[in-house]
Structure 1
């Protein structure tokens, strides 16, 4: 990939990952580019529709072409269409929030889900990105990455102050059990049970999860519903050839 292309993609990624519109100087600081180069590349992205530039604030947000590209990728994998019915059933039967998470680099992103009808429930943020080491939804993916691919997530965990030896023991247990049940693992007072999904070559690509308040969604209740979660995972086809184990 050319240097110019890499810089352009980096700028798109910075804008997409931000929870608020970004200005030129913020993007200069994040990217390490000089102001002239960043401005030229941003103008190109605006012209192509991948970014929007507010004429008043002069800040950047993702544009229609970027959104369409993401939607096309999801549609190609038939992700939402194939998962929707299973996510609804998981929520209806368990009474808790169900969700599907896709691996994107060293993170997982929530791409679909159905929230519980209980007033107190696990609330989803579609599009939320979380490091693989930071939640059950990511750990069941991280556990099955090969040694080289796991280096990045483990380094991120170490940088975040996580005891990597403890994390590696957790990952070993996930590999043995093929699932993870956790309470307060990411959010205090929240229980979650997750299973991984794999491509035919064994590469982990996603996870399926049911989560809820720990006083209601207890470890014993999660164990009870684990076969239902596994059965749903078996039927969700994320892409041609994807399987679960």
Structure 2
């Protein structure tokens, strides 16, 4: 639990941005450490603020969901932080992968390459729901780490089909990494026309990826379904055809899937 600030510190910081932030953090940490919901009087004992000030603060925190009030007028943490955490890259990728697992299994059986779901978070791509065999363990291990969007099939796909603008390419991970903005723009335009994204040795020299978007009823893609393997063992055209067919099935049965 956070150590309560002294009355002097609280008074000195009242009205400043730092002081307002401290009050919010203090309340959240106290409620997080509490074994049960707390009354306003119990909160006043550990958060050195006047009761009227604390009451106003709790009302504001309830409005944004940081704090919730029980039927007995006691306070507990709201679901805002939980909802915020679920919007993160890994959590969103996991939710989508769970919703379409039968389709991912079908894709894995048809291709025998690594199958995953990927989402874009900031400038990075996060994979989840990986399906693979022993021969592709190294590829799967690489995909468990966040990848820069500009040198990932999923990243380029989601940039091409989403509403956010493409970041300027920066670091070249391999000789095949796209590092020029005009080249990336042409690549994204091609992806929009074909519906598929390819990355050949752009992040790791031996890695080949093919990605297709999954919308599940949304205007922008909610994720990308990705098939990954090694350059010498993957036939990108046949994999692309199978991937497109499976993604079409996912969209056709989107009403049967649900993302948490």
Please report the TM-score for the alignment, with normalisation by the length of structure 2. 0.56
Residues 191/233 of structure 1: CA separation in 2 closer, same or farther (3 Å cut): farther
SS state at 1:140 partner: helix
Give ranges in structure 2 of 5+ residues lacking alignment: 1-15, 34-80, 173-178
The answer as to 2:222 corresponding to 1:205 is yes
CA contact (8 A) 1:113 1:124 kept: no
SS state at 1:122 partner: helix
Partner of 2:236: 219
Deviation by residue 1:147-188 (Cα, 9 ceiling, x = unmatched): xx21xx423x2x436201111110000000011133213221
Residues 125/84 of structure 1: CA separation in 2 closer, same or farther (3 Å cut): farther
The answer as to 2:110 corresponding to 1:132 is no
Partner of 1:54: none
Partner of 1:171: 188
Partner of 1:160: 171
Deviation by residue 1:11-48 (Cα, 9 ceiling, x = unmatched): xxxxxxxxxxxxxxxxxxxxxxxxxx8xx969x76983
Residues 186/125 of structure 1: CA separation in 2 closer, same or farther (3 Å cut): closer
Residues 117/71 of structure 1: CA separation in 2 closer, same or farther (3 Å cut): farther
Partner of 1:143: 160
RMSD: 3.9
The answer as to 2:108 corresponding to 1:85 is no
Aligned partners of 2:17 and 2:156: how far apart in 1?
Answer: 33
Give ranges in structure 1 of 5+ residues lacking alignment: 9-36, 50-65, 241-245
Moved over 4 A (4+): 44-47, 66-75, 124-127
Partner of 1:103: 120
Partner of 2:212: 195
CA contact (8 A) 1:195 1:233 kept: no
Number of matched pairs: 184
Aligned partners of 1:134 and 1:45: how far apart in 2?
Answer: 40
Please report the TM-score for the alignment, with normalisation by the length of structure 1. 0.59
1:117 Cα offset (Å): 3.6
Residues 46/200 of structure 1: CA separation in 2 closer, same or farther (3 Å cut): same
Partner of 1:22: none
CA contact (8 A) 1:121 1:212 kept: no
The answer as to 2:129 corresponding to 1:112 is yes
CA contact (8 A) 2:119 2:126 kept: yes
